[in-house]
Amino acid sequence: MKNKINWSNYFEIDEAQYEYIRSNYGVDKFLGMGLMPVRGPKGFRKLDYEFARTQLNVKEVMKKLDQQHFNFLGLVIKDTDGACLWNTEFGWNPTQRDILGEFCDAGKDYNINVFASFTSMNDAYQGTIHPERVSVHGRSGKKAGFRYKKGQISTHLEGEMRVDLPEGMSFEEYHQLIPFLTENFDEKIGKARGDRGSGYIPTTSFMCPNSEHVNYLLQLAKELVNNYPIKGLIADYIRYDGGYTDLCACERCVRKFRAKYGPKPKLLTSKEWYEFKADTIVAYGKKLHETIKTNNSNCISGWFCLPGPKKMLSQKRLGQDWEKLSSIFDISLPMEYPYLMGTRDDGLFWGKLADFFYWYYIRNMKKRAHEFKNPVLAITNSVECNTKEMLKQMRGFNFGYGVGLFKYYGTSEEQWKAIKKYAETELNLDT
């Protein structure tokens, strides 16, 4: 293959660690597909509980994945809305269906590993019922036309997901089920990444990682690992909201920060503050990993990493310390989505823009690969890009052990064919 990058020159990972992952999953090369049950039958711009409740066909999904040689499924059992798609005692499940249980059963029939993606700090439902646990702005500002004040909680209009009312249901009725739904309506569909949905706009909340929300998450994790034969539990949104630099300045966080660093270091902007944010996320990561391992030592633990510049994004905004987090969890999953920024199918400008991001993401990973202390498997997108762009990403971000794709619904027939061929000819998964 021309221009193939030899990633083993960049990652400093012990072969024994990979062996542990491989033997747990029983596969040599990974080919994964993500599925978001609440995002409807097409892309990921909808929030659609009706689809998850009545139309999602678990057996059909697993059969299709098996035919294309996939060996694992990344099931988003808790998305940013906060719904818990399993038989839960502690969480909120508006689909009233044990979707995780159904996939675990089907996974056995088809020999496909199921791992669960678990959104952590972003939780619209919890933000509505527990506003006191939502992260708090440390300064006043304006974003996407909306003003917020210092001291206000960080519950904002959602950027990505839109909601259609189910047939025969009024807004008021649906609001009973989805308490974070607003009457704001988005009609336009655009080509930029944040502009592709239409429908009612829900709110979104990033919870404070020093609040009771953490205990709620651990309670859910324990329930999951104890009751379901999942092969992995991967923390998504294990971070602060990347859209702001002034979170979280709630009383809890400020008190904790002062207790550790004294009165001198500045809130929000000091080196100590960034360290405090990263350590807060690390503390949650440790607790989650321990919860998983104490309850099922064979369940792989992992975290989704948002690639980008170390100082400006990882430290100042997200609070994601790659070295520390990858030292805790068994596996790291960077989300490499350059062709979500645009696609050539929308015109030359969008194609060029995404090509630039592809170049940037590759360079960023070469530069930062040494920060990972555990095996790394990238997730890239199959939706909202064409087949050529998808294959380019699958090859570029295969760090040596395969790749994961995002996501099942929205992948075109042409893409499914190309994935199958890739699995057979480049990953040798056709046995």
Size of the site for Zn ion (CB under 5 A): 6
Q: Is 245 exposed, middle or buried (0-12, 13-18, 19+ CB in 10 A)?
A: middle
Return the number of other C-beta atoms located less than 10 Å from residue 24's C-beta: 16
Residue whose CB is less far from Zn ion, 124 or 248: 248
Residue 236 to residue 384: CA distance in whole angstroms: 21
- Stretch 305-364 residues interacting with Zn ion (CB under 5 A): none
Residue whose CB is less far from Zn ion, 252 or 287: 252
AA letter at 212 = E
Residue whose CB is less far from Zn ion, 14 or 132: 132
404, β-bridge pairs: 32, 379
When binding is defined by CB under 5 A, the residue of 153, 248, 299, 379 that contacts Zn ion is 248
Question: Which stretches of 2-136 are assigned E, i.e. beta strand?
Answer: 30-35, 72-78, 113-119
Residue 134 touches Zn ion, criterion: CB under 5 A: no
Which range of residues in 10-18, 158-166, 229-237, 240-248 is near Zn ion by CB under 5 A? Answer: 240-248
Which range of residues in 33-41, 108-116, 232-240, 250-258 is near Zn ion by CB under 5 A? Answer: 250-258
Compute φ and ψ for 113, nearest 5 degrees. -65, 135
CB 235 within 8 A of CB 123: no
Residue whose CB is less far from Zn ion, 250 or 379: 250
Residue 203 to residue 126: CA distance in whole angstroms: 11
Give the shortest CB-127-to-Zn ion separation in angstroms: 13
User: CA torsion 155→156→161→163, rounded to 10°?
Assistant: 90
Residue 283 to residue 217: CA distance in whole angstroms: 13
Residue 230 touches Zn ion, criterion: CB under 5 A: no
Residue 284 to residue 321: CA distance in whole angstroms: 12
Which range of residues in 40-48, 176-184, 224-232, 252-260 is near Zn ion by CB under 5 A? Answer: 252-260
- Stretch 93-132 residues interacting with Zn ion (CB under 5 A): none
Residue 250 touches Zn ion, criterion: CB under 5 A: yes
Give the shortest CB-241-to-Zn ion separation in angstroms: 12
Binding map of Zn ion across residues 200-219, x = CB under 5 A, - = no contact = --------x-x---------
Return the number of other C-beta atoms located less than 10 Å from residue 122's C-beta: 23
When binding is defined by CB under 5 A, the residue of 47, 253, 292, 429 that contacts Zn ion is 253
Residue 235 to residue 213: CA distance in whole angstroms: 14
Residue 153 touches Zn ion, criterion: CB under 5 A: no
Give the shortest CB-250-to-Zn ion separation in angstroms: 3
Residues of this chain that bind Zn ion (CB under 5 A): 208, 210, 248, 250, 252-253
